[in-house]
Structure 1
Amino acid sequence: MTHVPSQPWRDWPLGVRVVVRRHLPEGGYSDVLGDLLASGPDGVTVRSRHGDVEVRAEDIAIGKIIPPRAPRVPRT
């Protein structure tokens, strides 16, 4: 029997805010935080403050939906 890894991101609705922890090629991890643009069996695309980031399924360590960003309060 072949083990099929869980892919919870496939159930996330597009447009929600997410954080995805990914494995880095040189070792260690990095988090991608932003709005979910695309998800599928190959991975996800997240729009972060630094641009669109594609994360391959095999690089995803963990991820979850998070609350929307809090509105900025102007300084007085």
Structure 2
Amino acid sequence: MSGPWQAWPVGVRVVVRRHLPEGGYSDVLGEVLVTGPDGVRLLTRRGEVTVDAAEIAVGKIVPPAVPRRRRRET
């Protein structure tokens, strides 16, 4: 199976909407680590997540994350 995710360059930030086995959808947001005909592996805030090609409903490249502001010490 081939999909548009195979053209995503490693390191870009993407969001992937995937089908859940119990029904419905879930979004995965992260940086691309690996793409291929079998799916995509992303680095999210919680660690690496692999999304199989059969689960991918839609995905797209998104802008880089906005840097978090440091808390001011008072």
| TM-score of the aligned structures, taking structure 1 as reference length | 0.89
Deviation per CA, 1:1-42: give whole Å up to 9, x if none: xxxx66110001000000000000000000000100000000
Question: Residue type matched to 2:35 in 1?
Answer: S
TM-score (ref. length: structure 2): 0.92
- Secondary structure at 2:6's aligned position in 1? helix
- RMSD, aligned α-carbons: 1.2
List runs of 5+ in structure 1 lacking aligned partners.
none
Distance 1:10 1:74 in 2: 36
**Partner of residue 18, structure 1:** 14
State the Cα distance separating 1:72 from its structure 2 match. Answer: 1.1
CA distance in structure 2 between the partners assigned to 1:75 and 1:56 by the alignment? 38
- Residues 1-76 of structure 1 mapped to structure 2, 5 A cutoff: 7-76=3-72
Deviation at 1:74, TM superposition (A): 1.7
SS at match of 2:54: helix
% identical aligned pairs: 64
For structure 2, the residue ranges without an aligned partner over 5 or more in a row are: none
**Runs of at least 4 residues of structure 1 off by over 6 A?**
none
Q: Distance in 1 between matches of 2:47 and 2:26?
A: 15
* CA distance in structure 2 between the aligned counterparts of 1:6 and 1:47, rounded to whole angstroms: 21
What is the one-letter code of the residue matched to 2:25? Answer: Y
